[in-house]
Structure 1
Amino acid sequence: MTDNKPIVSVITPSFNCENSISSTIESVINQSFTDWEMIIVDDCSTDGSVGVIENYIEKDSRIRLIKRLWNAGPAIARNVAIENAQGRYIAFLDSDDQWFENKLEKQISFMQDNNIELSYTAYNKYDFRGNHLGVYKPKLKVNYSDMLKSNRIGCLTAIYDSEKLGKVYMPNISKRQDLGLWLRILKMVPFAYGMDDILANYLAVQPNSVSSNKITAAKYQWRLYREVEKLPFKLSAKNFLSYAYLGYKKSK
């Protein structure tokens, strides 16, 4: 640690994740890179999530819990965690995903060795029943224009350097807030850089969730272009067509 502050702050929103949060926390505790803090912001869970988290806090002082008084959604929860983060590197991990034990060690070295502000990695995809759906292999270099066409950065793999960028927050929108954050950063730096290494496991949403509804997802994508990025109509339409085409290719 430097000045008693951790090098990495792990940002985890929590909402009714009693059945999955243990695996998420364990994957952080088991990291070969140990100089981290994990900030979990619970967004008014109504199940036993808080109790599970508090049991881990009793065993490991690097884990911190912030309890929100009203439910505001994952963007606000993540931003509260970012605001309270003390680490130089801001890393994201949702409460139903897991990291490989060498994730932080490899990725932080990659960023430091190559002077990178925003990085990401490949990851495994699983459905909600635990069936393996394959591996997402990202492009190894993306810019703002690339990201308008398709979100190529898995939130569970992303890390940004707050010493270089300052603290950058997610837009307060219901969906696509992670893409909104990457776009904000890519207005500040020319590129984000990825690793071929598979360093995380992503649990896909259940079929009846909002994120799995392609029509609903498309509406949020359009709103991101017009309301958050404030792109002109023609440029929004051009990127939306690319988004729809690339999404169709992914599903094949």
Structure 2
Amino acid sequence: MVRFSVVCPTYNRGPAIAATVESVLAQSLRDWELLVVSDASDDDTDEVVAGFARADDRVRLIRTHRHGHPSGPRNIGLAEARGAYVAYLDHDDRWAPEHLAVLARALEGEQLAATGATRVTAAGDVLHVTPPLTLCWHPELQVMNAIFQPSQIAHVAGLAESVGGWRTNETGLEDWDLWLRLTDAGVRCRTAAEPTVIELVDPSTRQSRVTARHGWEVARFPDGRAARAAYRALKDTRRVAAARTALETDLRAWYAALMESGLLVIPRGWRADAREVDRALREAVAAAPIGGRELWPDLAIVPREDHVALVHLISCVTQEHADRIGTLNRRIMRHQLELYADVLTC
């Protein structure tokens, strides 16, 4: 049995997939197999991968009928995987040479692990490096955020299948859907601070076109006129300072509670106690782009059968998940909701 099975779904990536495959070939941990699952590519993607497979029998090309979504190819890859662990790699991402070695250490005694990432443009310009704070893990954090992209994750063989595997949906975000189902099954995620994944941020990709289809209600109004007036009041950028203060107060209290619960996972490589987590959180809120052109850009007016609602839109797979986010927000964002109430009663 090999140590890692790497599952890489692809469609019409062409010669550019070579850099992705080469990043696996360059891994310092050599005990792996790479399963490139072609979703009926009709360009030269398969030919490029086949060339790597001829040169190194650890690389396997699996061609399948067209799914139009990466979940189907990922599930096919899982069925073919022979490794003790499964790692995922999107066809436009790359790994640093130590990626699998870092994951192997993080997976010791664990079922699920993730590393940090550097997000880059197609030209190679660095947009963002995941700070350690965003790699903290807790069941509530997983409800509220996707946290990880597939290329950052690895798990013990059979784990994804135990909760139903990868699901196909119209909204995308199938990764968040899987991580949440694993969390609900009692699986915790060990994280590592090292940014060993190079993730491409490309406006033309499916990920960049995800739209918010669900949400949770902030307030209800009898008609559209009242809702529009409230919407304009909440969007007023003169309240930026108050909004930032409320956000910081709520997040600091929430993270303090997560620390006290004993369930907050601190990424390996970040020696952080409660004071350091709080410092990093305050720094993150201070840098957050609050109130550029408008406050709360995800706020929308949504007509209902018997009322008009102000809704926080959320990019998630199901309304049930959005409802969970709303319930959690009502508990943890007390000061922000008080700010809402003050504005709406003016």
TM-score by length of 2: 0.61
Q: Does 1:199 align with 2:196?
A: yes
Contact conserved, 1:8 with 1:91, CA < 8 A, in 2? yes
Q: Does 1:235 align with 2:230?
A: no
- 1 CA distance for matches of 2:13 and 2:67? 14
1:111 match: 107
- 1 CA distance for matches of 2:92 and 2:206? 16
Contact conserved, 1:18 with 1:49, CA < 8 A, in 2? yes
- 1 CA distance for matches of 2:211 and 2:141? 18
Question: How far apart are 1:72 and its partner, in Å?
Answer: 3.4
- 2 CA distance for matches of 1:87 and 1:237? 39
Q: Aligned pair in 2 of structure 1 residues 43, 237: CA closer, same or farther (>3 Å)?
A: same
1:167 match: 161
Aligned length, in residue pairs = 229
2:97 match: 101
1:74 match: 70
Q: Secondary structure of the residue that 2:15 maps to in structure 1?
A: coil
- 1 CA distance for matches of 2:96 and 2:315? 34
**Alignment partner of 1:189 out of 186, 189, 202:** 186
Q: Percent of pairs identical after alignment? A: 23
Q: Does 1:18 align with 2:111?
A: no
2:269 match: none
**1:16-68: CA deviation from partner (whole Å, max 9, x where unpaired):** 11132101101111111111111111011121100000000000111111111
Paired amino acid for 1:161: V
Question: How far apart are 1:240 and its partner, in Å?
Answer: 8.5
2:84 match: 88
Q: Secondary structure of the residue that 2:72 maps to in structure 1?
A: helix
Q: Which moved more, 1:197-206 or 1:165-174?
A: 165-174
Higher relative contact order (CA 8 A, sep 6+): 1
Pairing of 1:124-135 with structure 2 (within 5 A):
124-135=118-129
- 2 CA distance for matches of 1:130 and 1:152? 23
Point out the structure with max Rg over C-alpha.
Answer: 2
**Alignment partner of 2:212 out of 206, 218, 225:** 218
1:250 match: none
**Alignment partner of 1:143 out of 131, 138, 144:** 138
Contact conserved, 2:28 with 2:101, CA < 8 A, in 1? yes
- 1 CA distance for matches of 2:138 and 2:3? 26
Contact conserved, 2:160 with 2:178, CA < 8 A, in 1? no
Q: Aligned pair in 2 of structure 1 residues 82, 240: CA closer, same or farther (>3 Å)?
A: farther
| Structure 2 unmatched ranges of 5 or more | 215-313, 337-346
- 1 CA distance for matches of 2:328 and 2:315? 9
Paired amino acid for 2:97: E
Question: How far apart are 1:205 and its partner, in Å?
Answer: 2.1
Q: Aligned pair in 2 of structure 1 residues 183, 141: CA closer, same or farther (>3 Å)?
A: same
